[in-house]
Amino acid sequence: MLFRKKSNEDDEHSFWISYADMLIGLLISFMVISLILYKSGEPKENPPCPPCPECPVCPVDSVETGRLAVMAEQFRDAFKDDPTIVVTENGTVRFRVNDNKEQLFKINDNQPTPFLQAKLKQFFPKYMDIILNEGLQNGLNIKEIRIEGHTDSTGMAERTRTQILYNYRLSSERAAEVQKFLFYTNAFESKDFDTKKYLFERMISCGYGTSQPLDKDGEFARQTGNPIDINQSRRIEFRIITEASGN
């Protein structure tokens, strides 16, 4: 029994043991309470996201994926009557020609043909209206609007280093000329200063040469294993790059 006194000698000893037991008990209680409080303060895992881009608990990349899907659908609706334009699932807008009657560029030339120029004039105002839509931009952090040039492998049976480098340069020049053409259109000139600045800072051009050929279905030939389609591969693409996707 606590604090039971047997003798004067045992008196101090009994009290010393009792206080020690009491301190140990308090220490254990403190540790238990601290553990409970720590567990209760741990962040809880967010519930599964519903299939909507507006979900506030979705990770950023899920929100951006949803926004890109909505944007891609609007692109398809806007350009559905133009057989020259194809819109991929991630919102990339692709200009290509399936026959040899009208070409985007003449062979070994970096200037857009009158045919492509006319197509770009029709395309760019609609494209800007969609990418500048404030409702779609909410939750979609656009880092780049990338104009990509792609060439085909015509005349590259041996694929020498000189041929490969030439096609990289040609595709880069073609993309840059498209970018330059768009910046001088009336649709761009009519925008206010802030809108122009936004587009100037994000619209870039680059060329991929023959490194990303497509098959007849417009899929990447190296992934499908199907034969390369020259008319599909010779193209210009407008690809949206977000902070989360980085693609």
pLDDT mean values, one per 10 residues, the chain (247 residues): 48 53 72 65 46 40 75 94 91 84 89 96 96 79 94 72 91 97 97 96 95 89 88 92 70
Q: What is the 3-state secondary structure (H, E, C) of 92-126?
A: CEEEECCCCCCCCECCCCCCECHHHHHHHHHHHHH
Pull the structure tokens for residue 151.
């060439």
What is the pLDDT, as a whole number, of residue 31?
Answer: 74
Angle at which helices 161-183 and 114-131 pack, to 10 degrees? 60
From CA 114, how far away is CA 136, in angstroms rounded? 32
Tally of CA atoms within 13 A in the half-sphere of 91 that contains its CB: 24
Residue 54 falls in which region: left (phi positive, over 0), alpha (psi -120 to 50) or beta: alpha
The residue count for the chain: 247
What is the pLDDT, as a whole number, of residue 152?
Answer: 85
